[in-house]
């Protein structure tokens, strides 16, 4: 029964679209507006309202679907949004409002760009952990070499959340978590393989890849809480500010996220091993470097985010998102 209703709804939508403007939409290459959410109030009022964003701008406003279902409005949307508007209009017109939830929605996680950014995110997370065993020094400041790469994961997290939303970022965070765990366990196991007689680097190999489990656990726990805190704050601030002030939102989410990350890592990894005063000295140094890193990268975050928004025609707002870090639903 439901399938037949959905089929009828879609057929009516296509028929109405064709009747309204058979050639205008095909000529519309660059959409001016995009639908970012459907207001849930239709369940009580029987009237369907949608939230609309001006493409390339932070302006968001509400419009009834009955108003949008006009040729003058429809030609300003993408084909995907036009089909959505038509389906919403027919659901309202025929009083089959429950069918609105069944309309197939665009899935941001299916964009090729998400895969590319996700791979970079995972690669730099793994690289930062492998490089953490190298101590480097610039002037009088000594730091783990992994600190050069790890802040990049926050930049990629910012881009994913800003463009594709928290749910896509959440899946990438978990994917990188499992990838890093596989690399750690795999390299750790290889240290127990009997070395070839002519290979004399076994001791050095063990030093690098037999890192203490405590450091690995500290790294993973701090990564989990830091990245998710960053993504959740950024997503919520985007809704609160209607997409404005990206620089401020990025700074706010990152300063909190890297703060939690650094504090957890140093306490879990080094509490009762080094003096407590030194723990806080290292925390302040690492925190300062990470925040400065993020500030310098803000122009890159702007450029890449704007490029992906235009390329994929996506600018996701987490209006109805359940910010549960343990769910993998997109």
Instruction: Check if the beta carbon of residue 273 is closer than 8 Å to that of residue 218.
Output: no
Length of the chain: 330
Report the pLDDT averaged over residues 105-132: 89
Residue 241 DSSP code: T
Q: Residue 11 — very low, low, confident or very high, per pLDDT cuts 50/70/90?
A: low
> What SS3 class is residue 220?
helix
Q: Which residues does residue 292 pair with via DSSP β-bridges, in sequence order?
A: none
For the chain, the average pLDDT equals 87
Angle in degrees, CA 144, 150, 154, rounded to 5: 150
Most confident segment among 5-19, 21-35, 93-107, 213-227: 213-227
Candidates 158, 330, 162; CA nearest to 241 is 162
216: Cα separation from own chain's centroid = 24
Rounded percentage of the chain residues whose pLDDT exceeds 70 = 90
Q: Residue 43 — very low, low, confident or very high, per pLDDT cuts 50/70/90?
A: confident
Question: pLDDT at residue 166 above 60?
Answer: yes
pLDDT for the residue 28: 45
Report the pLDDT averaged over residues 145-159: 94
Distance CA 244, CA 248 (A): 9
pLDDT in tens, 173-231: 999 999 999 999 999 999 999 999 999 999 988 888 887 788 889 999 999 999 999 99
pLDDT for the residue 40: 85
pLDDT for the residue 25: 45
Distance CA 131, CA 152 (A): 14
Report the pLDDT averaged over residues 57-68: 89
Neighbours of 138 (CB within 10 A): 7
Question: pLDDT at residue 17 above 80?
Answer: no
Distance CA 114, CA 80 (A): 20
Q: What is the value of pTM for the model shown?
A: 0.82
Residue 243 DSSP code: T
> What SS3 class is residue 5?
helix
Report the pLDDT averaged over residues 228-257: 96
Report the pLDDT averaged over residues 244-254: 95
């Amino acid at each position: 029964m439901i399938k037949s209703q959905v089929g009828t709804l879609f057929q009516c939508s296509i028929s109405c679209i064709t009747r309204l403007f058979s050639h205008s939409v095909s000529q519309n290459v660059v959409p001016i507006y995009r639908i970012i959410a459907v207001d849930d109030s239709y369940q009580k009022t029987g009237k369907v309202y949608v939230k609309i964003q001006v493409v390339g701008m932070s302006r968001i406003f509400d419009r009834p679907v009955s108003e949008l279902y006009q040729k003058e409005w429809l030609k300003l949307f993408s084909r995907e949004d036009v089909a959505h508007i038509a389906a919403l209009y027919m659901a309202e017109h025929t009083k089959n409002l429950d069918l609105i939830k069944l309309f197939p929605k665009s899935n941001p996680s299916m964009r090729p760009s998400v895969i590319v950014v996700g791979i970079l995110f995972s690669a730099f997370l793994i690289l930062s952990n492998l490089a953490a065993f190298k101590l480097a020094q610039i002037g009088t400041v000594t730091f783990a070499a992994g600190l050069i790469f790890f802040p990049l994961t926050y930049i990629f997290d910012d881009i994913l959340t800003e463009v594709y939303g928290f749910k896509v970022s959440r899946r990438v965070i978990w994917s990188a978590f499992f990838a890093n765990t596989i690399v750690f366990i795999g390299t750790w196991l290889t240290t127990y393989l009997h070395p070839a007689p002519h290979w004399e680097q076994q001791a050095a190999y063990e030093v690098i890849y037999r890192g203490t489990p405590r450091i690995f656990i500290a790294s993973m726990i701090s990564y989990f809480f830091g990245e998710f805190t960053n993504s959740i704050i950024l997503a919520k601030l985007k809704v609160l500010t209607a997409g404005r002030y990206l620089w401020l939102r990025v700074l706010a989410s990152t300063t909190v996220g890297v703060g939690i990350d650094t504090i957890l890592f140093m306490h879990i990894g080094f509490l009762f091993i080094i003096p407590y005063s030194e723990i806080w000295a290292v925390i302040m140094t690492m925190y300062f470097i990470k925040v400065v890193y993020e500030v310098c990268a803000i122009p890159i975050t702007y450029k890449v985010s704007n490029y992906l928004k235009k390329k994929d025609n996506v600018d996701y707002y987490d209006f109805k998102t359940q910010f549960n870090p343990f769910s993998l639903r997109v």
